[in-house]
Amino acid sequence: MKSTIELLEDTDFPAIKRRELKILQVNMGYLCNMSCVHCHVAASPYRTEMMSRELVELIPQILQAQNIDTLDLTGGAPEMHEDFKYLVKAARALGVKVIDRCNLTILMVEGYEDMAQFLADNEVEVVASLPCYSLENVDKQRGKGAFDDSILGLHKLNALGYGKSGSNLTLNLVYNPQGATLPPNQQQLEADYKRELKVHFDIEFNQLFALINMPIQRFGAVLLAKKQFHPYMDLLKVNYVATNLTEVMCRSTISVNWLGELFDCDFNQQLEIPVPNKSRRHLRDLLTQNPAGDDIAIADHCYGCTAGQGSSCGGTLEESAI
């Protein structure tokens, strides 16, 4: 049986090139307090891959050298990296916007009780995963107790001002479908989330990002095991929208793994598909070289970013373009 990467490599996806680099997305490591079914990086409490202090210290230099305005921190649970707070403070001192891709439950874990306050003190934008507003669906994807801890985490953030009207503390939520389907309309789903979370839990947030599940890593393996991989790829291709190509995140974002290697997106990183330009494949190369105009590495999973409303780390591409 072929692996997901072997199935994805033979593609007819259109060629695209990089524009100005605006966002540096850094995967600090695969250690996480959770093991979610849909996780495209296969993070878990047992992963040991973590970015070195030497590389972490290089990131603020890159932010300055490339005049990058946003640092997007992900994992695993990026908060579990011992240098997470150092990096946040260093980036904020440069005036760079920092995004923390938070699973919410980490805010309730022993040893991280002060994390929400730290995020607020440094005006970090929180992008929090909450695949549904019902206990049953969330626990099915993320494990028993995940929903309750997520709600507690959201209450903690709301108490600090996150997601509140008139506050400068941004709290955005992330939705993933339960399986091999496209997400529903983002605006309509956001309205449902806001109504249900307010009525039942008195929770407020700013925006909902509806993301497509990528057919890679843990989710890709599940699709293969259930013989759903090819039907899902057919679904993505049938719903391809060419205009989404103008806003795909790889045009303005570059992804860095825990070893400092460069990729055109977080998904290429997990598939180990490096950037095509061999002279710019490591974080240190960005100290002196600008990647604008470079070719972007493509494969069949790219249809996931261009199907329907489109999908990016900032939600649907229709919303991102507004």
Give tens-digit pLDDT for 5-46: 666 777 899 999 999 999 999 999 999 987 766 566 777 888
Of 37, 30, 38, 27, nearest in space to 213 by CA: 38
pLDDT tens profile 150-205: 899 999 999 999 999 999 999 999 988 877 888 888 999 999 999 999 998 999 99
Q: Coil, strand or helix: which one is 106?
A: helix
> So what's the pLDDT on residue 180?
87
pLDDT digits (tens, 9 = 90+) for 278-319: 999 999 999 999 999 999 999 999 999 998 887 767 667 655
Positive or negative, the CA dihedral 196, 208, 71, 256 is positive
Cβ partners under 8 Å of residue 172, min gap 6 = 125, 126, 127, 128, 205, 206, 207, 208, 209, 315
Write down all domains in the chain, each with its CATH number in brackets. Answer: 4-320 (3.20.20)
Residue 23 host element (H or E): strand 23-27
Q: Report in angstroms the alpha-carbon separations of 141 from 121, 131, 176.
A: 31, 8, 10
Residue count (the chain): 322
